[in-house]
Chains A and B, each alone.
Chain A
């Protein structure tokens, strides 16, 4: 790679030399030499087969990791000669339109066939778990909401539920707050899946679908803005309840969404589901078996696409999901089309849940009236010195949470999102860890891609629906 003076002067100008010459001419040689080591990716390489351990190779070719090495060796059309020069390692990403953020895949290709794949992540890592250790439980919501930025309300919900369990107030959360949480969480699922419809369409060339998906999602976000004041990163669901009651006219807003979205979904069916080209691109692509998916810890639509009916809303119910009547959608082939169809059907199921929530939404308080975690109402601050002090203390020091540790997992649009908090009795978490669904789901990529075409790689990434903000945290 190093371009020396000799290279530049020694004739024989192939196309590659020409490129290097131009790069060298554009950048002053001395500073270029400094630039290269600083941007070097280091040792994170897709090593030659001869240098990879058997286990590592099995993982990279995407074998079921519980089979014997002899069986694994039979998988795929692996070239016998490790130095086989017919294979080529190419980088896809981190800046690639279909990597949904900054995901980088190293692919070993033979012609157009993908032999090995290794996902490289970390480009969006901002140390949010470290940040969480210096934010009070009151402020923590602003941090977690930015992790998986397409399901902010689910992130807040799982964080709040973990804090409430540590405080021992899980059973005292007012009914209305619980139902508001469910309403917002389901609408968030709809918004997230609508965006998946958009990006999935775009990745496969149905560019108009991108516009339609964003358009419908925007309608949901508009409702979020009415309720929380923000389109994304709401910090609306907080330990103890929610930040504010639903505004006047919220019911009309929800009913408008319920009227607006179903006919649009029928349009998606015409545009995508029944369309032969779209089906050809997805059916039988990126297949994963139930055993593989469970072994890899995959959750959400990925594990459901293989036929495993696992949905935390039904299987380990939280909030009032046990009172709801809805279906868990499962696929049968575990391919990209199943994952698309599951998400489309889940939008309809979520709307079914939202309708039931509308019928059941009770009147009452929207946050717990526990002086420990709830600041006094604004009006009280004007008339009571104690309320003022209380307000000041809660917003500066935060509230103390008893010692202990707890893990809470809920079903986000992408699978199980979990929050593990260890508390040492201070007003900030001693350690907060978020188990993000995309982080684990990305491990399925090598398995789904093995033996596929590079063009299918795009369909596979899209069908996993990773959100890199959540992966890297």
Chain B
């Protein structure tokens, strides 16, 4: 198996996926940006709590969370994807904000929905849920159907 910047690479339905560790993540993103992947199209989180035995390349230890970044090379018209494992005990990963300012809102969304912190993000606050919301809705252990009614004491 070939690797890119020391990270294992897999093929998912014809799409290139790079698996950096948390430590490599920022450096790999930087190197890729120098190679032409200058646009971070999307960033999202996945909670693999109920699917820990997913296929991953050798040497990559599955963790509960993953941060998935879609990168785009506008010059050569190609895409690539980064999948970073983020452990439940320490859900922190470096922010891409300095490199790709466009990830500001998606990183906030990932923080809001999964509780993954981004180190170096300028304004890591909730973006979609109310400020005082408890819990992170897209986590797999966040039940649907058990949300307290909001504003029920508001003046009728």
Contact = CB atoms under 8 A, between A and B. Distances in A.
Interface in B70-85: 70, 74, 77, 79, 81
Contacts of B68: 405, 420, 433
A38 B154 contact: yes
A168 B97 CA distance: 35
Interface residues of B, number: 52
Interface string A25-62: 00110011011001101111000000001011001000
Contact of B12 (A28, A32, A406, A472): A406
Contacts of B125: 43-44
A364 interface: no
A270 to B, nearest CB: 37
Given A39-B154, A121-B128, A435 B77 contact: no
A125 interface: yes
A127 B122 contact: no
Given A34-B153, A43-B131, A310 B74 contact: yes
Interface centre among B100, B128, B137 (most CB of A within 10 A): B128
Contact of B13 (A43, A66, A168): A168
Q: How extensive is the interface on chain A, given as a class? A: 35 or more
A127 B122 CA distance: 25
Tell me the interface secondary structure of chain B in the complex: loop
B94 interface: no
22 contacts: A38-B153, A42-B130, A44-B125, A44-B131, A59-B104, A59-B122, A122-B126, A130-B137, A294-B38, A297-B39, A297-B100, A315-B74, A315-B77, A404-B13, A406-B15, A407-B15, A409-B79, A420-B70, A422-B46, A435-B41, A440-B105, A472-B128
Interface of A: 27-28, 31-32, 34-35, 38-39, 41-44, 53, 55-56, 59, 65-66, 121-122, 125, 127, 129-130, 134, 165-166, 168, 294-299, 308, 310, 315-316, 403-407, 409, 416, 418, 420, 422, 424, 430-431, 433, 435, 439-440, 442-443, 472-473
Interface of B: 12-15, 17, 38-42, 44, 46-48, 50-51, 54-55, 68, 70, 74, 77, 79, 81, 97-98, 100-106, 109, 113, 122-123, 125-132, 137-138, 144, 151, 153-155
